[in-house]
Amino acid sequence: MIYKLPIRVYYEDTDMAGIVYYANYLRYIERGRSEWVREVGLDQNRMKDEDGIVFAVRRVEADYLAPARLDDELVVETWVESRKPVRMVMGQEVKRGDQVLFRAMVTVICMTLDGKPVRLPHWDEPAA
């Protein structure tokens, strides 16, 4: 399943050159992952409050391919590339139309509130 999140580029997202500031792509893909979690039916607040577990990013590999600019309409695509008991690798792309502007592979783990790794919760992926 590929989850798609529309994003618009606002003035606050850009740098002095008028293009999206590089760190904001990390914010965009974080939003994409957060919405993906909701889409698969996981409640992160309940996981934390009732089970004492949270998701954490362990690694990000990022490629900046082309700039986005003020008022661009973008789409953040998010999918699971691989999944193991305590971690998963998520693929993400930020696109303007069919053009890929940014690509990332993000390793996410599940851990207790004191930082010990635990098994990922189960979810059923909805049909695309």
Yes or no: say if 4 and 77 are a contact pair by the CB < 8 Å rule. yes
* Cross-strand pairs, 79: 91
Percent of the chain with pLDDT over 70: 95
What is the per-residue pLDDT for 122? 73
Q: Mean pLDDT over residues 60-83, rounded?
A: 97
| Active site positions, annotated | 15
- Whether residue 9 lies inside any domain: the answer is yes
- CATH classification of the domain holding 25: 3.10.129.10
d(CA 3, CA 39): 8
Range of the domain at 7: 3-112
Residue range 74-89, pLDDT digits in tens:
999 999 999 998 899 9
What is the number of domains present in the chain?
1
Yes or no: say if 36 and 3 are a contact pair by the CB < 8 Å rule. yes
Yes or no: say if 108 and 90 are a contact pair by the CB < 8 Å rule. yes
